[in-house]
Amino acid sequence: MKKRIYFLLLILVCLGAALFPSNTYQTLTVDGMPVEFVFRSLQPGEVILAVLKGEPPVKAVRLQFLGKKYILSASRPGEKPFALIGVDLDVKPQSYVIRITAEKEDGTKEDARQEFLMDPKNFSQKRFWIKESLIAPPPQELERIRREQELLQDIYNCITPEWLGTGSFIPPLDQEAFPNFGQRRIYNKRPPSVHAGVDIGAPWGTPIRAANSGKVVLASSLYFSGKTVIIEHGQGVFSIYGHMSKFLVKRGDVIKKGALIGKVGSTGRSTGPHLHWALKIYESRVDPFALVGMPLD
Ligand SMILES: [Zn+2]
């Protein structure tokens, strides 16, 4: 009997490790200050957390990686300043340099750099053979689609530099997600399109939670993603929830982590009730579950 329990425990531990792979920690020192990098893996679609350790005798610590600039900031006085770095799902597997600059009170600067080798990731591929009329939007919708793309661009360009989140991210639903982040989808013989989020299947009307605190910057019906909510979490991080049947928030609402924001549906281009959940960090498209595992508490 005891043996059986141990065996069951072992299976559970292995399962846990497979579902939530442990993070890697790497430390780089700039001007005597340790900056810790935390990541699940160094691959396209992943997230790297940079945390300033110790008491910083500096004005600001900036980071530069993959052509983007970040500033390490604290969410509350006394908390460790940090930044979240998104590795877009299209980043090529090669070596990249991360540059850290410490700006001192007297105006002088100190630099440190570290190479990060991105490993390749094989995203799944799926072929679809469907009616041509279902792929190409009807001509009368093209203007609407163009307007919505502009609106989304304006939203992602308007960034609150401070962190608005509360601790670590949580999944918006209890149901398990399909492993389809970054999936290359080939419709008929067209060039592949990329699925830049994860799909979570759940019964119609299931309430959806906010993955973290923040500000609702969009709650509107869009052509492709249907009833969509976008939450800004600050520091360039946005979470996106699509195909809802009902909104429970409106644009401008400031909400807490776990607040109910809408209900599962199948609006927009969708074939059944599910939530399309996506995450962007300064426009880098990352796996939302890469952020769920980040220790922000
Ligand atoms: Zn989707």
Express each pLDDT in 18-76 by its tens digit.
455 689 998 888 878 889 999 999 999 999 999 988 776 677 889 999 999 999 988 77
Residue 9, pLDDT score: 47
What are the tokens at 89?
A: 């799902």
DSSP secondary structure string, the chain? Answer: -HHHHHHHHHHHHHHHHHHSPPPEEEEEEETTEEEEEEES-SSTT-EEEEEE-S---SSEEEEEETTEEEE-B-SSTTSPPEEEEE--TT--SSEEEEEEEEEPTTS-EEEEEEEEEPPP----EEEE---HHHHSPPGGGHHHHHHHHHHHHHHHH----S----SS---SSSSPBPS-TT-EEEETTSPPEE--SEEEE--TT-EEE-SS-EEEEEEEEETTTEEEEEEEEETTEEEEEEEEEEES--TT-EE-TT-EEEEEB--SS-SSSEEEEEEEETTEEE-HHHHHTS---
Residue 2, pLDDT score: 52
Going from the Cα of 164 to the center of ligand 1, the distance in angstroms, rounded, reads 26
Going from the Cα of 12 to the center of ligand 1, the distance in angstroms, rounded, reads 29
What are the tokens at 21?
A: 């792979």
Going from the Cα of 196 to the center of ligand 1, the distance in angstroms, rounded, reads 7
Going from the Cα of 40 to the center of ligand 1, the distance in angstroms, rounded, reads 22
More confident residue, 8 or 197: 197
Going from the Cα of 197 to the center of ligand 1, the distance in angstroms, rounded, reads 6
Q: What is the pTM of this model?
A: 0.90
More confident residue, 10 or 151: 151
pLDDT at residue 17 tops 70: no
pLDDT at residue 282 tops 90: yes
Going from the Cα of 185 to the center of ligand 1, the distance in angstroms, rounded, reads 11
Going from the Cα of 239 to the center of ligand 1, the distance in angstroms, rounded, reads 13
Going from the Cα of 25 to the center of ligand 1, the distance in angstroms, rounded, reads 31
Mean pLDDT of 230-259: 98
191 — pLDDT class (breaks 50, 70, 90)? confident
Least confident of 12-16, 82-86, 136-140: 12-16
Picking from 156, 243, 258, the residue whose alpha carbon sits closest to that of residue 211 is 258
Going from the Cα of 41 to the center of ligand 1, the distance in angstroms, rounded, reads 23
Residue 53, pLDDT score: 86
Residue 188, pLDDT score: 85
Residue 56, pLDDT score: 63
pLDDT at residue 155 tops 90: yes
Going from the Cα of 275 to the center of ligand 1, the distance in angstroms, rounded, reads 7
Going from the Cα of 178 to the center of ligand 1, the distance in angstroms, rounded, reads 9
Mean pLDDT of 247-267: 98
Mean pLDDT of 182-196: 89
Residue 14, pLDDT score: 44
Q: Is 99 exposed, middle or buried (0-12, 13-18, 19+ CB in 10 A)?
A: middle
Q: Which domains does the chain have, with CATH numbers?
A: 2-117 (2.60.40.10), 125-292 (2.70.70.10)
pLDDT at residue 210 tops 90: yes
Cβ atoms of residues 244 and 283 within 8 Å: no
Going from the Cα of 100 to the center of ligand 1, the distance in angstroms, rounded, reads 35
Least confident of 30-39, 79-88, 234-243: 30-39
pLDDT at residue 185 tops 60: yes
6 — pLDDT class (breaks 50, 70, 90)? low
Residue 273: phi, psi to the nearest 5? Answer: -65, 125
Residue 32, pLDDT score: 80
Going from the Cα of 199 to the center of ligand 1, the distance in angstroms, rounded, reads 5
103 — pLDDT class (breaks 50, 70, 90)? confident
Strand partners, 102: 61, 110
- Contacts of residue 140, defined as CB under 8 A and 6 or more positions apart, other chains included, come to none
Residue 154, pLDDT score: 97
Going from the Cα of 182 to the center of ligand 1, the distance in angstroms, rounded, reads 10
Going from the Cα of 23 to the center of ligand 1, the distance in angstroms, rounded, reads 26
